[in-house]
A and B are shown apart, each in its own frame.
Chain A
Amino acid sequence: MAKHNPQTPAKLETTGHEWDGITEANRPLPKWWLWTFYACIVWAIGYWLLMPAWPLVSSYTKGWLGYSQREVVAEQVAEAKAAKAGFRDKIAASDLVTINEDPELLRFALAGGEAAFGDNCAPCHGRGAQGAVGYPNLRDDSWLWGDGSLNAIHTTISHGIRADDPKTRMNQMPAFGRTGMLTEPKIDDVADYVLSLSGSGSGDHEAIERGSKIFAETCAPCHGADGKGNAAAGVPDLTDQLWLYAGDKATVVESIRNGRGGVMPNWSARLDPETIKELAIYVHSLGGGR
């Protein structure tokens, strides 16, 4: 309102600032605001004395109450562990099939297994257990070692593959090229034959024919005459659509020439038995378990 408002008190002191007829009153702050400010200062000093506050050269003032966030976290972790103890004891006492059929234990084991998988297995097998070149996909229906049962998975996790463990899973794909057992042209032919087993490759019939004879002599003892492998001994099936390395010819030639020998640690040396059980249950639940 630009007009003078007759209701405006005449003697109201202003700061002299004016915007379109609106003036700013100059009013003192209430005293209790000032006291609130002083109270905050006193509070701050009290806080410095009671709680960790000031950084020193190599340490800090600890405070009379001796409060430490690290200790609080450690206590909370211990509490959480204690809360899980009942389930952990049950998992320790039960066999894998029992755990898998008890809905409550199964849920607990899956949660624990997922966490342990992320911490320990994901670096090689991937966060989603989808695998990578040389590291098997744990979600598909094909198992390099064992039949995909809970016990087979548990054995693999416990003792590893080609690990420093008396019960470890062990076999060897020889380096046929490097050791001179097969010449380069023969390797090439065998590779053609191997690719043809799963319906891929060049389709060069003569090479496949030559390769099949070499395969029967050199490879069949382990991979079987039909190339279906032997999961009990960790020999891969060459007829399916899945490749641990890759399904192109150069990679297959490379495998025959220099051999393969991926390793997996024996986790029984690193993890407690309950965690390994949880891991076995979790991996079994990813889709490939039988």
Chain B
Amino acid sequence: MSDAKNPYISQASRSAQAGDGITRRDFLNEITLGALGIAGLGSVAVTYQYFSPNVLFEPSTTFRAGNPDLYPVHSVTFLQDQLVYIVRMPEGFYAVSAVCTHLGCVTQWKPDADMIACPCHGSKFKGDGTKIEGPAPRPLPHFSISLTADGELLVDKLQNIKPAQVLKV
């Protein structure tokens, strides 16, 4: 039945609804919904945390690449285990990522054509990572490369550096 005829709505309720007060019923409803909403949001947050792993068993992203003398000048060496090209030019060393910047396929060094090619969608790069052609949006990134205390090359794949930076040995 309509609110006007409902004998269970008190005079106080009616005046509250008519003015800018709020009835006890509506107030409690709102409080309950609010509490459920907070509980719901909290559940979502906690579930997201649950699904997001805290410990990952993935291979280390820092590795040693051996003595610099292993690499002749003007060479591009593909380290397959690390998916990195160690490039040695007269000016110094670069560590270029072998993962295509388009969609993550592993590129290949083609010495006869003096370029790096991606098999998935045909992107081509020069030895220093600059793009020649193809759908890749960016050149191949350079990783931080340095010398350890005992004279070995150290590459950190989590640190990207500018292509102009070179390791002089």
- Whether both chains belong to one complex is answered with no
Chain A: residues with CB nearer than 8 A to chain B?
Answer: none
